[in-house]
Chains A and B, each alone.
Chain A
Amino acid sequence: GQNIDQPTEMTATEGAIVQINCTYQTSGFNGLFWYQQHAGEAPTFLSYNVLDGLEEKGRFSSFLSRSKGYSYLLLKELQMKDSASYLCAVRGDYKLSFGAGTTVTVRA
Protein backbone atom coordinates (compact mmCIF):
# COMPACT_ATOMS: atom_id res chain seq x y z
CA GLY A 1 0.00 0.00 0.00
CA GLN A 2 0.89 3.66 -0.01
CA ASN A 3 1.40 6.09 2.87
CA ILE A 4 1.58 9.72 1.76
CA ASP A 5 2.10 12.65 4.11
CA GLN A 6 1.87 16.36 3.44
CA PRO A 7 1.15 19.35 5.69
CA THR A 8 -2.49 20.24 6.19
CA GLU A 9 -2.25 24.00 5.76
CA MET A 10 0.20 26.70 4.74
CA THR A 11 -0.19 30.46 4.54
CA ALA A 12 1.96 32.86 2.55
CA THR A 13 1.96 36.41 1.27
CA GLU A 14 1.31 37.45 -2.32
CA GLY A 15 4.58 37.54 -4.25
CA ALA A 16 6.32 35.18 -1.86
CA ILE A 17 7.52 31.58 -2.31
CA VAL A 18 5.99 28.52 -0.67
CA GLN A 19 7.34 24.97 -0.59
CA ILE A 20 4.95 22.08 -0.01
CA ASN A 21 6.66 18.89 1.12
CA CYS A 22 5.42 15.38 0.50
CA THR A 23 6.87 12.18 1.93
CA TYR A 24 5.75 8.75 0.85
CA GLN A 25 6.21 5.07 1.54
CA THR A 26 5.12 2.83 -1.30
CA SER A 27 5.15 -0.79 -2.33
CA GLY A 28 5.94 0.25 -5.90
CA PHE A 29 6.80 3.49 -7.63
CA ASN A 30 6.02 4.68 -11.14
CA GLY A 31 6.02 8.41 -10.62
CA LEU A 32 4.80 11.23 -8.43
CA PHE A 33 2.19 13.76 -9.46
CA TRP A 34 1.12 17.12 -8.08
CA TYR A 35 -2.42 18.36 -8.63
CA GLN A 36 -4.05 21.69 -7.78
CA GLN A 37 -7.65 21.71 -6.59
CA HIS A 38 -9.67 24.86 -6.04
CA ALA A 39 -12.62 24.53 -3.69
CA GLY A 40 -15.52 22.76 -5.39
CA GLU A 41 -13.56 22.08 -8.54
CA ALA A 42 -11.72 19.18 -10.15
CA PRO A 43 -8.07 18.43 -9.42
CA THR A 44 -5.94 19.79 -12.27
CA PHE A 45 -2.57 18.34 -13.23
CA LEU A 46 0.48 20.43 -12.33
CA SER A 47 3.57 18.24 -12.59
CA TYR A 48 4.99 14.76 -12.89
CA ASN A 49 8.34 13.41 -11.63
CA VAL A 50 9.63 9.90 -12.16
CA LEU A 51 13.40 10.53 -12.03
CA ASP A 52 15.29 12.31 -9.27
CA GLY A 53 15.69 16.02 -9.68
CA LEU A 54 13.86 19.23 -10.33
CA GLU A 55 11.20 19.83 -12.97
CA GLU A 56 10.42 23.47 -13.64
CA LYS A 57 7.27 24.72 -15.28
CA GLY A 58 6.79 28.47 -15.10
CA ARG A 59 6.16 29.61 -11.54
CA PHE A 60 5.81 26.02 -10.34
CA SER A 61 8.65 23.53 -9.80
CA SER A 62 8.59 20.01 -8.45
CA PHE A 63 11.44 18.00 -6.97
CA LEU A 64 11.81 14.28 -6.36
CA SER A 65 14.22 12.13 -4.37
CA ARG A 66 13.27 8.49 -4.75
CA SER A 67 15.85 7.25 -2.24
CA LYS A 68 14.38 9.52 0.43
CA GLY A 69 10.74 9.03 -0.55
CA TYR A 70 10.44 12.80 -0.75
CA SER A 71 9.06 15.42 -3.08
CA TYR A 72 8.27 19.08 -2.89
CA LEU A 73 6.24 21.51 -4.93
CA LEU A 74 7.62 25.03 -5.08
CA LEU A 75 5.29 27.89 -5.88
CA LYS A 76 7.04 31.15 -6.76
CA GLU A 77 5.70 34.69 -7.12
CA LEU A 78 2.51 33.69 -5.37
CA GLN A 79 -0.73 35.12 -6.68
CA MET A 80 -4.12 35.23 -5.00
CA LYS A 81 -5.42 32.69 -7.51
CA ASP A 82 -2.88 30.17 -6.18
CA SER A 83 -5.02 29.79 -3.04
CA ALA A 84 -6.09 26.15 -3.37
CA SER A 85 -5.43 22.64 -2.14
CA TYR A 86 -2.34 20.93 -3.54
CA LEU A 87 -2.47 17.15 -3.76
CA CYS A 88 0.58 14.90 -3.85
CA ALA A 89 -0.13 11.57 -5.57
CA VAL A 90 2.09 8.53 -6.00
CA ARG A 91 1.60 5.99 -8.75
CA GLY A 92 2.25 2.37 -7.84
CA ASP A 93 1.60 -0.16 -10.56
CA TYR A 94 -1.44 1.48 -12.14
CA LYS A 95 -3.09 2.91 -9.07
CA LEU A 96 -2.68 6.57 -8.13
CA SER A 97 -2.75 7.12 -4.35
CA PHE A 98 -3.33 10.65 -3.07
CA GLY A 99 -2.29 12.48 0.05
CA ALA A 100 -4.91 14.43 1.95
CA GLY A 101 -3.81 17.69 0.33
CA THR A 102 -2.22 20.91 1.56
CA THR A 103 -4.45 23.98 1.67
CA VAL A 104 -2.45 27.04 0.68
CA THR A 105 -3.86 30.44 1.54
CA VAL A 106 -2.31 33.45 -0.15
CA ARG A 107 -2.77 36.74 1.70
CA ALA A 108 -2.48 40.20 0.21
Chain B
Amino acid sequence: EAGVVQSPRYKIIEKKQPVAFWCNPISGHNTLYWYLQNLGQGPELLIRYENEEAVDDSQLPKDRFSAERLKGVDSTLKIQPAELGDSAVYLCASSLGGRADTQYFGPGTRLTVL
Protein backbone atom coordinates (compact mmCIF):
# COMPACT_ATOMS: atom_id res chain seq x y z
CA GLU B 1 0.00 0.00 0.00
CA ALA B 2 1.36 3.40 -0.94
CA GLY B 3 2.00 5.85 1.84
CA VAL B 4 1.36 9.57 1.92
CA VAL B 5 2.95 11.22 -1.10
CA GLN B 6 4.21 14.79 -1.08
CA SER B 7 5.86 16.96 -3.67
CA PRO B 8 8.16 18.63 -4.14
CA ARG B 9 10.60 17.21 -1.58
CA TYR B 10 12.68 20.37 -1.58
CA LYS B 11 11.95 23.93 -2.60
CA ILE B 12 14.14 27.01 -2.53
CA ILE B 13 12.56 30.38 -3.24
CA GLU B 14 13.26 34.02 -2.62
CA LYS B 15 11.20 35.94 -0.11
CA LYS B 16 7.96 37.45 -1.35
CA GLN B 17 7.58 34.67 -3.94
CA PRO B 18 4.62 32.26 -3.86
CA VAL B 19 5.05 28.55 -3.23
CA ALA B 20 2.71 25.54 -3.25
CA PHE B 21 2.97 22.07 -1.78
CA TRP B 22 0.98 19.04 -2.85
CA CYS B 23 -0.15 16.02 -0.85
CA ASN B 24 -1.81 12.75 -1.83
CA PRO B 25 -3.03 10.87 1.26
CA ILE B 26 -3.27 7.13 1.80
CA SER B 27 -6.18 5.71 -0.17
CA GLY B 28 -9.35 5.66 1.90
CA HIS B 29 -8.11 8.13 4.50
CA ASN B 30 -10.76 10.80 4.93
CA THR B 31 -8.79 12.99 7.31
CA LEU B 32 -5.85 15.01 6.08
CA TYR B 33 -3.49 17.23 8.09
CA TRP B 34 -0.86 19.80 7.24
CA TYR B 35 1.89 20.35 9.80
CA LEU B 36 4.86 22.67 10.02
CA GLN B 37 8.07 21.37 11.60
CA ASN B 38 10.94 23.63 12.53
CA LEU B 39 14.39 22.22 13.15
CA GLY B 40 14.64 20.53 16.53
CA GLN B 41 10.92 20.83 17.17
CA GLY B 42 7.90 18.59 16.89
CA PRO B 43 5.32 19.07 14.13
CA GLU B 44 2.71 21.79 14.70
CA LEU B 45 -0.73 21.49 13.18
CA LEU B 46 -1.67 24.07 10.55
CA ILE B 47 -4.96 22.67 9.28
CA ARG B 48 -7.10 19.55 9.43
CA TYR B 49 -9.56 18.37 6.80
CA GLU B 50 -12.41 15.94 7.14
CA ASN B 51 -13.05 15.01 3.51
CA GLU B 52 -13.16 18.37 1.72
CA GLU B 53 -14.08 20.42 4.80
CA ALA B 54 -11.45 22.31 6.78
CA VAL B 55 -12.62 21.54 10.32
CA ASP B 56 -9.66 23.07 12.19
CA ASP B 57 -7.68 25.90 10.63
CA SER B 58 -7.19 27.91 13.81
CA GLN B 59 -3.37 27.70 13.55
CA LEU B 60 -3.16 28.62 9.87
CA PRO B 61 -1.80 32.15 9.29
CA LYS B 62 -4.56 33.13 6.94
CA ASP B 63 -2.98 36.37 5.79
CA ARG B 64 -0.46 34.45 3.70
CA PHE B 65 -1.32 30.75 3.93
CA SER B 66 -4.17 28.97 2.19
CA ALA B 67 -5.10 25.36 1.65
CA GLU B 68 -7.62 23.40 -0.34
CA ARG B 69 -8.85 19.87 -0.70
CA LEU B 70 -11.42 20.24 -3.42
CA LYS B 71 -12.44 16.63 -4.05
CA GLY B 72 -11.68 15.30 -0.60
CA VAL B 73 -8.53 13.49 -1.71
CA ASP B 74 -5.43 15.50 -2.75
CA SER B 75 -4.61 18.73 -1.01
CA THR B 76 -2.53 21.80 -1.75
CA LEU B 77 -0.99 24.19 0.75
CA LYS B 78 0.05 27.60 -0.55
CA ILE B 79 2.09 30.45 0.86
CA GLN B 80 1.89 33.87 -0.77
CA PRO B 81 4.06 35.77 -0.24
CA ALA B 82 6.71 33.68 1.50
CA GLU B 83 8.78 35.19 4.31
CA LEU B 84 12.18 34.20 5.66
CA GLY B 85 10.56 32.73 8.77
CA ASP B 86 8.56 30.29 6.67
CA SER B 87 11.66 28.16 6.11
CA ALA B 88 10.73 24.79 7.62
CA VAL B 89 9.54 21.31 6.71
CA TYR B 90 5.89 21.06 5.74
CA LEU B 91 4.46 17.66 6.56
CA CYS B 92 1.24 16.15 5.34
CA ALA B 93 -0.43 13.34 7.27
CA SER B 94 -3.60 11.32 6.81
CA SER B 95 -5.77 9.04 8.90
CA LEU B 96 -8.99 7.07 8.70
CA GLY B 97 -10.70 9.46 11.10
CA GLY B 98 -12.08 9.28 14.59
CA ARG B 99 -10.61 10.33 17.89
CA ALA B 100 -8.16 7.51 18.46
CA ASP B 101 -6.94 6.93 14.95
CA THR B 102 -3.30 6.92 13.92
CA GLN B 103 -1.84 9.57 11.66
CA TYR B 104 0.59 8.54 8.94
CA PHE B 105 3.03 11.10 7.65
CA GLY B 106 4.46 11.88 4.27
CA PRO B 107 8.17 12.65 3.76
CA GLY B 108 7.57 16.38 3.86
CA THR B 109 8.64 19.34 1.76
CA ARG B 110 11.70 21.20 2.99
CA LEU B 111 11.21 24.89 2.18
CA THR B 112 14.08 27.34 2.19
CA VAL B 113 13.24 31.01 1.79
CA LEU B 114 16.21 33.21 0.86
| Stretch from B67-75, B79-87, B98-106 at the A interface | B98-106
Closest to A47 in B: B102
Residues of the B chain whose Cβ atoms lie less than 8 Å from the Cβ of A24: none
> Is the pair A42, B108 in contact by a Cβ cutoff of 8 Å?
yes
| Stretch from A12-20, A63-71, A97-105 at the B interface | A97-105
Closest to B42 in A: A98
Interface string of A55-94 (1 = CB under 8 A from B): 0000000000000000000000000000000010101011
A30-B100, A45-B102, A93-B99 known; A98-B40 Cβ under 8 A: no
In the assembled complex, A95 has its CB within 8 A of some CB on chain B: yes
A42-B107, A43-B91 known; A94-B99 Cβ under 8 A: yes
CA distance A35 to B91 in the complex (A): 14
> Is the pair B42, A100 in contact by a Cβ cutoff of 8 Å?
yes
> Is the pair A101, B41 in contact by a Cβ cutoff of 8 Å?
yes
User: Closest CB-CB distance, B7 to chain A, in whole Å?
Assistant: 14
- Which of B42, B99, B110 contacts A99, CB < 8 Å? B42
User: Closest CB-CB distance, B63 to chain A, in whole Å?
Assistant: 22
- Which of A41, A44, A101 contacts B40, CB < 8 Å? A101
- B interface size (C-beta, 8 A): 22
CA distance A31 to B100 in the complex (A): 7
Within 8 A of A (CB), among B35-60: 40-45, 48, 55-56
- A interface size (C-beta, 8 A): 25
User: Closest CB-CB distance, B107 to chain A, in whole Å?
Assistant: 5
CA distance A94 to B96 in the complex (A): 12
Residue from B104, B105, B107 whose CB has the most chain A CB atoms within 10 Å: B105
Interface residues of A (CB under 8 A from B): 4, 30-31, 33, 35, 40-45, 48, 50, 87, 89, 91, 93-101
Interface residues of B (CB under 8 A from A): 4, 33, 40-45, 48, 55-56, 91, 99-100, 102-108, 110
List 10 interface pairs A-B (beta carbons < 8 Å), by A numbering: A31-B100, A35-B105, A41-B107, A42-B105, A42-B106, A42-B107, A91-B99, A93-B99, A96-B103, A101-B40
